[in-house]
């Protein structure tokens, strides 16, 4: 029987890399040979953060790296994320094409590596679909956001034609709030997919799967275990976890409001995993939270959220964070910054009843009040527990996500069979 071989190409940001790695692990557990493609820059960062073993791979699971087209001097620019998106879109196709050729050449040499039979990329890596089409390979695109944001992107051209876009007053929007259309232009006319597989939460699916042979996530930052050890010393549901993600930029004024809002929560233990140097530079915050805080540059968020000591998550409302918090049964205080985070907040606060919102111009008094309300609300805790149970049910044997994953694997296997027939 032909063996399926998927080349997984995530956008080079932690919010894309880790979900793609989780999906790759799930596919690997179902017999799919995986080649996971990082950028060379991120490959070096991962090795520096976790050691060479993190990217050594295992049987039928290998890591490869391609250049992202950016010079090191360009990584400190103010619009780095936009520059990275443009560079990968314009300059990564040729290196990926060369990698695919090397993989197929290796398959012909010893037979240990099966020929590539499909490409799985995250949505921002649309160039990978172009390369796959050139090589006659099918593509699956991983959408890491909500269904609502997917529908918006799929209908973006229709919304333009009907006059909803550009938004009225959009000239007043900050750059982070404006749509980034480059990958939309590249994929225009390809927005209607024959199949959509709703799979998740990915971490919960992995917990239901066999033992993880590939190791933990691929962190771009050095992760310590001190925060988990600190949580072990706290009472159940007593601690507030604070993390605004890897891309959030905050003014000193807003940072001060959050710092003093957190400090004023009384005796609540606080775990902050976000640019802690900014907080350490505020001596009074250090004094006010002495004996009840833990500051970490980065941490394993899923492990933190699943820890019984965590009772509230102060979050930027990224979709990964939302899913991980819901799957862990932890209610939230939400302060979105850009992209789909605003609609994610609406889900948490209005649809699921597991969150409270903060105003965009955040005030310390509101931070204190909302955090305390979440920590004290038994009703919100019960709602969060119900959503956690739903996530477990979906990921468990016979659940909707479980079935959709099986269906996706069967399609990937069929790609390999079709490829074998074509060779014959």
| pLDDT higher than threshold 80 for residue 189 | no
Per-residue pLDDT, 424: 46
Which of 421, 422, 419, 420 shows the shortest CA–CA distance to 119? 419
389 or 256, higher pLDDT: 389
Torsion of CA 358, 360, 363, 367, to 10 degrees: 20
Residue-wise pLDDT for 63-76, tens only, equals 999 998 887 777 76
Give the range with max mean pLDDT: 97-101, 167-171, 286-290, 413-417.
97-101
Query: What is the rounded average pLDDT for all residues in the chain?
Result: 87
Mean pLDDT of the region 402-412? 97
Alpha-helical regions (H) of 68-201: 80-91, 93-110, 127-134, 147-154, 156-161, 182-186
Look up tokens 């920590």; give the residue: 375
Q: What are phi and psi of 119, to 5 degrees?
A: -120, 135
Pairing of strands 270-272, 33-39: unpaired
In the CATH scheme, what is the code of domain 5-218+395-423? Answer: 3.40.50.2000
Which CATH architecture group holds 226-376?
3-Layer(aba) Sandwich (3.40)
pLDDT of residue 269 exceeding 80: yes
Please list the alpha-helical segments (H only) found in 54-126.
80-91, 93-110
pTM (2 decimals)? 0.89
Q: What angle in degrees, to the nearest 10, is found between the helix axes of 400-423 and 378-395?
A: 30
Band the pLDDT of 176: cuts 50, 70, 90.
Answer: very low
Q: Per-domain residue ranges for the chain?
A: 5-218+395-423, 226-376
391 touches 384 (CB < 8 A): no
**What's the angle, vertex CA 352, arms to CA 351 and CA 356, rounded to 5?**
90
3-state secondary structure at position 291: coil
Give per-residue pLDDT as tens, 113-167: 899 999 999 999 999 999 999 999 999 999 999 999 988 888 888 888 888 877 6
The answer to whether residue 366 scores a pLDDT higher than 80 is yes
CA distances from 47 to 36, 54, 217 (A): 15, 7, 12
Q: What angle do CA 339, 15, 26 make, to 5 degrees?
A: 130
Distance CA 340, CA 410 (A): 31
Task: Say yes or no: do domains 5-218+395-423 and 226-376 share a fold.
Answer: yes
């Amino acid at each position: 029987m032909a063996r399926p071989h998927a080349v997984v190409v995530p956008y080079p940001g932690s919010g894309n890399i880790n979900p793609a790695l989780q999906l790759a692990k799930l596919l690997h557990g179902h017999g799919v040979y995986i080649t996971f493609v990082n950028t060379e820059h991120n490959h070096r960062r991962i090795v520096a953060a976790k050691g060479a073993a993190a990217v050594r791979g295992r049987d039928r699971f290998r890591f490869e790296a391609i250049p992202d087209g950016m010079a090191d001097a360009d990584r400190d620019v103010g619009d780095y994320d936009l520059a990275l998106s443009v560079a990968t879109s314009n300059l990564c196709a040729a290196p990926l094409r060369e990698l695919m050729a090397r993989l197929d050449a290796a398959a012909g040499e010893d037979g240990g590596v099966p020929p590539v039979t499909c490409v799985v990329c995250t949505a921002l890596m649309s160039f990978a679909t172009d390369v796959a089409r050139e090589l006659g390979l099918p593509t699956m695109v991983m959408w890491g956001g909500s269904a609502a944001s997917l529908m918006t992107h799929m209908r973006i051209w229709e919304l333009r034609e009907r006059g909803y876009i550009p938004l009225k007053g959009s000239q007043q929007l900050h750059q982070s709030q404006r749509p980034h259309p480059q990958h939309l232009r590249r994929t225009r006319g390809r927005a209607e997919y024959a199949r959509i597989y709703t799979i998740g939460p990915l971490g919960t699916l992995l917990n239901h799967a066999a033992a993880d042979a590939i190791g933990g996530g691929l962190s771009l930052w050095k992760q310590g275990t001190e925060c988990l050890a600190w949580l072990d010393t706290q009472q159940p549901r007593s601690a507030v976890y604070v993390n605004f993600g890897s891309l959030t930029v905050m003014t000193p004024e807003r940072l001060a409001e959050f710092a003093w809002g957190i400090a004023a929560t009384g005796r609540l233990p606080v775990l902050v995993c976000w640019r802690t140097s900014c907080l350490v530079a505020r001596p009074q915050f250090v004094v006010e939270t002495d004996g009840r805080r833990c500051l970490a540059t980065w941490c394993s968020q899923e492990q933190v959220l699943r820890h019984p000591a965590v009772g509230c998550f102060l979050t930027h409302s990224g979709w990964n964070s939302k899913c991980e918090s819901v799957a862990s049964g932890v209610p939230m205080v939400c302060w979105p910054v850009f992209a789909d985070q605003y609609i994610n907040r609406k889900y948490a606060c209005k649809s699921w009843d597991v969150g409270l919102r903060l105003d965009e111009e955040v005030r310390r008094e509101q931070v204190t009040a909302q955090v305390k309300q979440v920590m004290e609300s038994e009703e919100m805790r019960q709602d969060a527990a119900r959503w956690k149970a739903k996530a477990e049910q979906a990921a468990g044997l016979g659940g909707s996500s479980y079935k959709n994953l099986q269906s996706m694997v069967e399609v990937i296997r069929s790609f390999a069979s079709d490829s074998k027939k074509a060779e014959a």
